[in-house]
Amino acid sequence: MHKSVQDIVNMKKDGKKISVITSYDYTLASLCDKAGIDILLVGDSAGMVMLGYENTIPVTMEHMCMFTESVSKARETALLVADLPFMSYQASIDDAIRNSGRLIKAGADAVKLEGGSVMAETINSIVDVGIPVMGHIGLQPQTTMLFQGYKVQGKTKDTALKLIQDAKALEEAGVFSIVLEMISHEVAEIISENVSIPTIGIGSGIRCSGQVLVVQDLLGMYDKIKPKFVKRYMNLSEDILKSIGNYKKDVESGTFPSQENWFSMDKEELDKLRSEIGN
């Protein structure tokens, strides 16, 4: 039995911190789920860490459905949330509902979309058809290139007020939780105290109800950028590079494979074969 949206909402009420990690593939998702992570987020950060794009803009519904299917086969206990990619929900409410439905059919329990009060009507319509929604305010990677740039949000009174209003508008629209990305920790704390739903921080300080990191960042597998808010728990790229280098050396020197890695015929069958082919 996996966690429900209500279980996540109750965690805030019970004063329990919520752990969230991004997942895109079966193998890593199984490990995250076994480790007891509360929410697996199929983020559109897949565009960078899985598909090698510069940003999340090129990510399609087809990509997100494929990643969601793989993760859904792996998860046993976590809640599974999937991102609606750029332009899958902005053009019309019909698009937003239909594409949310596609992610649910692919195995998600809820969808996430970026935007503040401007998205309230869309969120309300998705929730109305029975699909739980996670909001996402602060730095919004899908539009950051166009407007904000990669910088901390909510550093002035006016931008902070707007973020607080956005969070309240999303709560009213029916989201079950909100990601707060790269918001000054003071504003993230004020938002967390002023909404009843959980806030999930990324680069937004300790007072959020939970935290999210991109799995490749925390495992030290993605070196292109290293934001200040990332904590690396290991340096997996180093171990992977070493292991693959050792494999290459073994292949070249003929020390791999060895007897324990290959399969044999019965001696009698082999003798018969040799005599038949005169070898």
**Residue 142 binds ligand KIV, judged by CB under 6 A:** no
**181 among known catalytic residues:** yes
Q: Is 166 in the site for ligand KIV (CB under 6 A)?
A: no
For residue 134, the minimal CB distance to ligand KIV (Å) is 9
* Residues shown for the chain: 279
214 binds ligand KIV, rule: CB under 6 A: yes
| Least CB distance to ligand KIV at residue 205 (A) | 15
* Min CB(175)–ligand KIV separation in Å: 14
User: According to the binding rule CB under 6 A, does residue 215 interact with ligand KIV?
Assistant: no
* Sequence-ordered list of residues with C-beta below 8 angstroms from that of 277, at least 6 positions apart, any chain: none
Q: Which two tokens stand for residue 170?
A: 């999303």
Among 167, 179, 188, 215, binds ligand KIV (CB under 6 A): 179
Which of 92, 86, 99 has the alpha carbon at shortest distance from 133? 99
Please say which residue, 147 or 262, places its beta carbon nearer to ligand KIV.
147
Is residue 80 at the binding interface for ligand KIV, with CB under 6 A as the rule?
no
Please say which residue, 22 or 153, places its beta carbon nearer to ligand KIV.
Answer: 22
Residue 228 CA to residue 155 CA, distance in Å, equals 16
# chain residues binding ligand KIV, by CB under 6 A: 10
Q: What value does the CA radius of gyration of the chain take, rounded to a whole number of Å?
A: 23
Q: Which residues contact residue 110 at a Cβ distance below 8 angstroms, ignoring those fewer than 6 apart?
A: 5, 79, 80, 81, 82, 131, 132, 133, 134, 176
The verdict on whether omega for the bond into residue 132 sits within 30 degrees of 0, i.e. cis, is no
The single-letter code of the amino acid at 183 is I
Q: Which is nearer to ligand KIV, 26 or 229 (CB)?
A: 229
Look up residue 5 and give its two tokens. Answer: 């949206």
Catalytic residue among 62, 181, 189, 269: 181
Token pair recorded at residue 91: 């053009």
3-state secondary structure of 131: coil
Residue number with the smallest Cβ distance to ligand KIV: 43
Site for ligand KIV in 19-78 (CB under 6 A): 22, 43-45
- The gap from C-alpha 269 to its chain's centroid, in whole angstroms, comes to 53
**Given the rule CB under 6 A, which residues bind ligand KIV?**
22, 43-45, 83, 179, 181, 202, 212, 214
**Active-site residue set:** 181
